[in-house]
Structure 1
C-alpha cells in the first residue's frame, strides 16, 4: 500500500479537488442513490465540493472495476463502464464510497478529515492511499498509467504543502501540511497523528 498523509482545511482540500477535477484520466466515484444498505454508484469527471468523508477515484485507463461479491460461491461483478453506474449492497447505511476489497484494478482512496479527535479543535489527519503493486506477486500489478498518475499526485501534494514531522512520532513519520492548515498549526492548532 502507498499512503500520502496530509493535513488540510476545507480551503486546502479545494486545491486538491480542483487538481483531481482537472486530471483528464481520472473520475470520482459518487453515490447516485441509496435505499437502506443498497447503493448505486457512478463515476463522474468532477465534483463541486468535498465533505469530511471517504472518496474513491478511478483511473479510467485501468479498465473495468472489479466489485467483490463477498461470497466464495458468487463471482465478482465487473463494471465495464463506471460512468453508467452499478449497484452494490453493503452491511452499512452510512457508506460514502464503494467497497472494492483487495481486488485490482482498485481505485485510489481519499479520506478527508478536517475535524480532529485527539484534542479540542485539532486538525484531523487526511490521506490518499492506494494498493499500488501490493498484488504484483500474484499477477496483478498496478497499471502503468495509474502508477504514473499516482506519482503526479505525489508531486502535486509535495509542491502544494510543507512536509512536517507528525507530533509525538519522534520524527519517524511526516505529513504534508497544506497552507491554511500550516498557518493554523503554527498558531497552535494540534495535528492529529492517527486517522
Structure 2
C-alpha cells in the first residue's frame, strides 16, 4: 500500500518502540511532509521544546480543545497525561495535498480510524519484547513505577497490531524510515 500526497498516515506502537526516533529522522529526510505535533498535558522532558516536540498545555486548555472540537483525536495515556492531535493543521495540510503523518497511541489511532477510514494505519513494533524493555529502561526518563505501567500498556498495544494496515519492525532506524518513506510514496 502506498499513500500519496493529501493523505493521512497514522503511526502507532507501544511505548519505547522508537516512534520519536523514527519520526525525527523522517522529518530530516522529508520536510515536505507534515508531521503532526501533538498537544499534551504532561510536563516537558529534558530537551523537549514547546511547539517542536509537543504543544505543552494545561488541563484547562486541553479541556477547551476537546469542547471546541479542536482535536482530531485524544486520549489519556498511561493513566498520567492526555495527548491529542490538533485538527486544523492536519486538515490544512491534507487540503494542500501534503502527506500527513500522525504519531499517536493506540487509543488515538482507533479514533482516527472511525473518523478517517481512508488513512493508512502503520504499527511500529519492536524486534522483541525483551528489546522493548531494554529500550524503555535505557531511556531513563521514567521511574520504575512508570516503566511498569508503560509495559502493561505496551502489552495491550502489541495485541492490537492486527488492527493496522502495515506492521513495521523497528530493528534498524534507517531501514524503518526507508520503509515508511516508501509506504508514503515520497
TM-score when scaled to structure 1?
A: 0.29
Higher-Rg structure is 1
TM-score when scaled to structure 2?
A: 0.30
Ranked by relative contact order (alpha carbons within 8 Å, sequence separation 6 or more), the top structure is 2
Q: More helix per residue: 1 or 2?
A: 2
